[in-house]
Chains A and B, each alone.
Chain A
């Protein structure tokens, strides 16, 4: 199974850009990379998903190098409300019943944004 590694925590200040990197050395060809945000006592919430290169939406960008062994979530101009745990998720279940990575979450990065 793929293993994902993220920094345990990061600190930032309001208005700064924050980059959180996830390492996934054993990523399989079919695997997508997805990032989620989680606030205390809530379920995770989808942020962004990609397969390769760069993906951007209204809240974040996702950078994936050519070898796809890592990915970086970029949050532009963070605010206090961005304080949360961020998870990367690697894998898929396309090969139903077969040997797949079966959706492996990282252990999460606690982002603390200060004023």
Chain B
């Protein structure tokens, strides 16, 4: 099915563990984004990618690592999870640098 998917949808982990959240899109969009959503903060951009092997920091990149070896995938890794990274994470993609972003269903991450 065409679209943008995220996995897992729910994840519980412990402080200090490494966690990778997956994002996959079937449109071959050039741009992909990772956001976190927290009460009182709305959505905040973590990282984005303009194409395969091109990534850049957003507003809140500390503690996160991204890669984009293939156009359709944009995984987000928390190298050593902290409780402050408990959040809902959304992946998005867009065809143009300025244009409609298509969001995935989100991953709810809890760090104990």
Given the complex of chains A and B, what is the CA–CA distance between A2 and B26 in angstroms? 32
Which among A1, A41, A97, A105 is the interface contact of B43 at CB below 8 angstroms? Answer: A105
- Look across to chain A and name the residue whose beta carbon is closest to the beta carbon of B6: A43
**Chain A 59-115 residues near chain B, CB threshold 8 A:** 87, 92-94, 96-97, 102-108
Closest to A30 in B: B98
- CB 8 Å contact bits of B74-110 with A (1 = contact, 0 = none): 0000000000000000101000011111111110000
**Is the Cβ of A106 less than 8 Å from the Cβ of B42?**
yes
Inter-chain CA distance A107–B42, complex, in Å, is 4
Query: CB < 8 Å: which of B35, B41, B105 contacts A42?
Result: B105
**Whole-angstrom CA separation of A27 from B66 in the bound complex:** 28
* Contact among A43, A49, A97 with B100 in the assembled complex (CB-CB below 8 Å): A49
Give B contacts to A, CB under 8 Å.
31, 33, 35, 40-45, 48, 50, 54, 56, 58-59, 90, 92, 97-106
Q: List 29 A-B contacts (CB under 8 A).
A: A1-B59, A32-B98, A34-B101, A41-B106, A42-B106, A43-B106, A44-B43, A44-B90, A44-B101, A44-B103, A46-B102, A49-B98, A49-B99, A93-B31, A93-B48, A93-B97, A94-B98, A96-B56, A97-B56, A102-B45, A102-B58, A102-B59, A104-B45, A104-B59, A105-B42, A105-B43, A105-B44, A105-B45, A107-B41
